[in-house]
Amino acid sequence: MKLTIIGTGYVGLVTGACFAEVGHQVVCVDNDAAKVKLLQEGGIPIYEPGLEELVKGNVAAGRLNFTTSTTEGVEKSDVIFIAVPTPPMADGSVDLSFIEKVAREIASAMTGYKIVVDKSTVPVRTGDKVTETIKRYCKARVEFDVVSNPEFLREGFAVEDLMKPDRIVIGVRSQRPVAAMKEIYAPFQAPVVVTDINSAELIKHASNSFLALKISYINALSIICDATGANVQEVANGMGMDARIGRRFLDASLGFGGSCFPKDLSAFIKIAEQMGYEFGLLKEVQRINAEQMNRFVKKIIDTLWVLKDKKIGVLGLAFKQNTDDVRMSPAIELCQRLQKEGAILRVHDPKAMEKSKALLKDVTYVDDMNEVAEGCDALVITTEWDEFKKLDLERVRKALSHPILFDGRNLFDRTEMERLGFIYKSIGR
Ligand code: UDX
């Protein structure tokens, strides 16, 4: 099918590349001319495993094209996906100005029936607003359908999540666009949920909030485990074997971050408030998450006492593994908190060092993860990169002035670390 994706951020670019990979003819539109040029020349603006090969291969095969012109994108396809950012505003509500602008642009360019699909994460009832806007600005008075089709990909696993989705959610007002939507997704062989637009929009906010709740739940349990000597991983394993609960997203950590969970939680709380409901449960999820970071910082201070002029090595800057994304990264927040206490930092991340430089100044960026500990009073692990599990621990212990390791992601076995001579502090174990 001929498909256009407006917005080439994480969601738009990966969606476009995967649609092309399964044989659709795809046009990706972005108003950033430099980005479009880079993509046309085979460059990739983000690090995402498997994406570069996918983009290059499909550009070469002629199935994936990039342009800055929304009009061209609308003319070339019958189905237009909106995948532009929906950033948070100061009060936690969602800034929908990009969605509104793109809806107007699509409306002005339409000369025949189009299906306009919203992929961006939006508040419930945005579909109604997009429909009204297109009606208002479409001079040609042609027919169209608005569809809600939220995306559930995780950064770092985006290609895998898109190619093998758990489910496809399609929110519609009438049956007319359903066949086309099903045809687009047929190659992905996933269960399809066809529902109304409001429910589809809610599924996205409800899912992300529930996953964040799962993390805050295990993080709250980690406090009980710390206090009692129980092991939070053992608790998570035992809970996770219950099929009704499941093991995933029960990894205690120094808190969740990224460009989705914090933003979507705030947005969902605000949406509920506007409907007259105070979503106290989700406010508690936020509170536990903030508290988890405070506790981790306190653990470091309790052990090292005064941080002023202490040298601390930090492994991990991205908000999670397999990405170079540092937006709302707990690792960056931790570094800034340690700097505020006067600590001197040596930091490393396998992919996120370049993007960190704008946020994290006056630190030493170290290329080799095994050299970060050199001359440090302690080492802190903040991101769950698989690479870190392969650290040369013997070398790290010798490099540290004091063999203290704070593991904010529970990557190592406590008994083994103590056997190797580390003073090892993790989360809830
Ligand atoms: C999330 C959703 O998973 C995805 O479906 C949605 O489309 C976008 O938001 P993403 O933000 O890319 O994806 O990352 P995710 O893997 O969900 O992790 C979010 C944060 O939670 C990270 O900081 C991660 O380290 C943390 N996390 C995750 C935990 O602390 N513990 C866990 O068990 C899982």
Query: How many domains does the chain fold into?
Result: 2
Task: Let me know: does 1 contact 78? Beta carbons within 8 Å.
Answer: yes
Assign 259 to helix, strand or coil: coil
**What secondary structure letter does DSSP report for 404?**
E
Cβ contact 16:28 at 8 Å: yes
Instruction: Give yes or no: residues 179 and 264 share one domain.
Output: no
Mean pLDDT of 41-67: 95
- 41 Cα: distance to centroid of ligand 1 (angstroms): 31
Instruction: State the residue for tokens 């969602």.
Output: 94
Domain CATH code at residue 313? 3.40.50.720
Residue 7: domain span: 2-190
Q: CB of 20 within 8 A of CB of 58?
A: yes
Among candidate residues 162, 190, 218, the one where a domain is terminated: 190
Mutate to test the pocket of ligand 1, among 153, 218, 320, 381 (most ligand atoms within 8 A of CB): 320
Q: What is the pLDDT of residue 155?
A: 95
133 and 279, same domain (yes or no): no
- Cα(161) to ligand 1 centroid in Å equals 13
Residues 17 and 165 occupy one common structural domain: yes
- Across all residues in the chain, what is the average pLDDT? 97
Can you tell me which atom of ligand 1 is nearest the CA of 212? 21
Tokens read off for 423: 């003073």
Average pLDDT for 25-33: 98
**Confidence band for 317, pLDDT divided at 50, 70 and 90:** very high
Do the domain assignments include residue 249? Answer: yes
Place of tokens 């960190």: 356
Three-class SS of residue 28?
A: strand
Q: Are residues 264 and 176 in the same domain?
A: no
Residues 375 and 267 reside in one and the same domain: yes
On whether residue 336 sits in a domain, the answer given is yes
**Does residue 46 have its Cβ closer than 6 Å to ligand 1?**
no
Same domain, 253 and 332: yes
Crossing angle for the helix pair 51-60 and 10-21, nearest 10 degrees?
Answer: 50
Confidence of residue 122 (pLDDT cuts 50, 70, 90): very high
Strands (E), 62-102: 64-67, 79-82
DSSP per-residue codes, 149-193 = ----PPTTSHHHHHHS-S-EEEEESSSTTHHHHHHHHGGG---EE
The long-range contacts involving 409-413, CB below 8 angstroms and separated by at least 24 positions, are 409/251, 409/253, 409/254, 409/316, 409/381, 409/382, 409/383, 409/384, 410/232, 410/233, 410/251, 410/252, 410/253, 411/381, 411/384
CA distance 146 to 128: 8
Torsion of CA 145, 175, 154, 106, to 10 degrees: -10
Whole-number Å distance, alpha carbon 89 to ligand 1 midpoint, is 21
Angle CA 161–163–169, to nearest 5: 70
Q: CB–CB of 237/411 below 8 Å? A: no
Going by alpha carbons, the residue nearest to atom 7 of ligand 1 is 152
Instruction: Report, in angstroms and rounded to the nearest whole number, the Rg of the chain calculated over CA atoms.
Output: 23
How wide is the angle at C-alpha 168 spanned by C-alphas 162 and 169, nearest 5°?
135
Domain membership of residue 362 (yes or no) is yes
pLDDT at 42 over 90: no
**Model pLDDT for residues 211-263, shown as the tens digit of each residue:** 999 999 999 999 999 999 999 999 999 999 999 999 999 999 999 999 999 99
> Which domain-ending residue is among 167, 190, 213?
190
Residue-wise pLDDT for 364-406, tens only, equals 999 999 999 999 999 999 999 999 999 999 999 999 999 999 9
State how far the alpha carbon of 276 is from the alpha carbons of 270, 271, 273, 291, 313, in Å. Answer: 10, 9, 5, 27, 47
Whether the pLDDT of residue 58 is over 90: the answer is yes
Same domain? For 185 and 326 the reply is: no
* 246 and 185 together in one domain: no
- Residue 148 and residue 50 share a domain: yes
Q: Which atom of ligand 1 is nearest to the CA of 207?
A: 5
181 and 264 together in one domain: no
- Ligand 1 centroid – CA 386 distance (Å): 16
- Give residue-wise pLDDT tens across range 169-201: 999 999 999 999 999 999 999 999 999 999 999
Q: Which of 226, 216, 223, 232 is nearest to 289 (CA)?
A: 216
**Global pTM?**
0.96
Mean pLDDT of 270-298: 98
In a domain, residue 206? The reply is: no
Is 384 inside any structural domain? yes
Gap between the Cα atoms of 429 and 399, Å rounded = 25
18 labelled catalytic? no
Instruction: Give the whole-angstrom CA distance, residue 230 versus residue 28.
Output: 51
- Spatial CB neighbours of 249, under 8 Å, sequence gap ≥ 6: 211, 214, 215
Listed residues 122, 156, 190: the one ending a domain:
190
* Helix, strand, or coil (residue 146): strand
> For residue 224, is it within any domain?
no
Do 262 and 345 lie in a common domain? yes
- Is residue 201 one of the residues assigned to a domain? no
Q: Do 186 and 246 reside in the same domain of the chain?
A: no
195 within a domain of the structure (yes/no): no
Which among 28, 260, 335, 376 is annotated as catalytic?
260
